């Protein structure tokens, strides 16, 4: 059994709510990147991207396992892997992990990320979100 970290029980209604929120974050991240000025920092957009990835992960684990990760964002990938097994592709594990690894620095650090950093984060999110959306249609 894979060690997943602390979790909290959630139901299908929660999963549907988190999916709706994830879609909202995705739209906001896209909008933020599309209207950014060349000199803008990337942290706000990247924060939205990371929160979106977490919301999609919560929606998936709530739907398919009845649990969500609690307080340990680095364990989100492990819980999703424990939930979906081999249905969680390595590429999407890499995308999610890469986004989550930046959470503390982006949201609580003092170093400004570039617009290019934000664009790369959104590219990873777009791949992860497309895959996550497919899971809800299976």
- How does pLDDT run across 20-78, given as a tens digit for each residue? 999 999 999 999 999 999 899 999 999 999 999 999 999 999 999 999 998 788 789 99
| pLDDT tens digits, one per residue of 12-31 | 999 999 999 999 999 999 99
Residue 107 lies in a domain: yes
Question: 8 - beta bridge partners?
Answer: 68
Residue 120 lies in a domain: yes
- What distance in Å separates the CA atoms of residue 104 and residue 114, rounded to the nearest whole number? 16
- What distance in Å separates the CA atoms of residue 105 and residue 87, rounded to the nearest whole number? 30
Find, among 71, 82, 68, the residue nearest to 8 by Cα: 68
Task: Yes or no: say if 52 and 129 are a contact pair by the CB < 8 Å rule.
Answer: yes
Residue 22 lies in a domain: yes
pTM for this predicted structure: 0.93
Q: Which residue has the higher pLDDT, 50 or 138?
A: 50
| pLDDT tens digits, one per residue of 96-106 | 999 999 999 99
Kindly tell me if the per-residue pLDDT of 2 is higher than 70.
Answer: no
Question: 9 - beta bridge partners?
Answer: 67
Residue 125 lies in a domain: yes
Find, among 84, 89, 52, 66, the residue nearest to 15 by Cα: 66
Number of structural domains found in the chain: 1
Residue 2 lies in a domain: no
Query: ∠ CA 61-66-71 to the nearest 5 degrees?
Result: 60
Summary mean pLDDT of the chain: 93
- What distance in Å separates the CA atoms of residue 38 and residue 21, rounded to the nearest whole number? 28
Kindly tell me if the per-residue pLDDT of 3 is higher than 70.
Answer: no
Residue 1 lies in a domain: no
Question: Quick one: pLDDT at residue 21?
Answer: 98
Range of the domain at 24: 7-137
What values do phi and psi take at 102, rounded to 5?
A: -95, -5
- Residue 90 has a CB neighbour count (10 Å cut-off) of 9
Q: Indicate the pLDDT class of residue 7, thresholds 50, 70 and 90.
A: confident
Q: Which CATH number fits the domain that encloses residue 97?
A: 1.20.120.330
Question: Which tokens belong to 102?
Answer: 């930046």
Percentage with pLDDT > 70 across the chain: 97
Question: Quick one: pLDDT at residue 70?
Answer: 87
């Amino acid at each position: 059994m894979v060690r997943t970290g602390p979790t909290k029980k959630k139901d299908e209604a929660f999963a549907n709510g988190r999916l709706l929120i994830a879609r909202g974050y995705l739209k906001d991240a896209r909008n933020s990147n599309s209207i950014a000025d060349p000199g803008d920092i990337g942290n706000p957009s990247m924060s939205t991207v990371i929160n979106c990835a977490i919301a999609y992960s919560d929606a998936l684990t709530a739907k398919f396992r009845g649990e969500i990760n609690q307080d340990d964002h680095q364990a989100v990938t492990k819980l999703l892997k424990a939930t979906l097994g081999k249905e969680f592709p390595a590429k999407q594990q890499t995308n999610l992990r890469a986004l989550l690894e930046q959470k503390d620095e982006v949201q609580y650090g003092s170093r400004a990320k570039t617009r290019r950093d934000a664009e790369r984060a959104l590219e990873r999110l777009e791949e992860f979100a497309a895959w996550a959306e497919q899971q809800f249609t299976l």
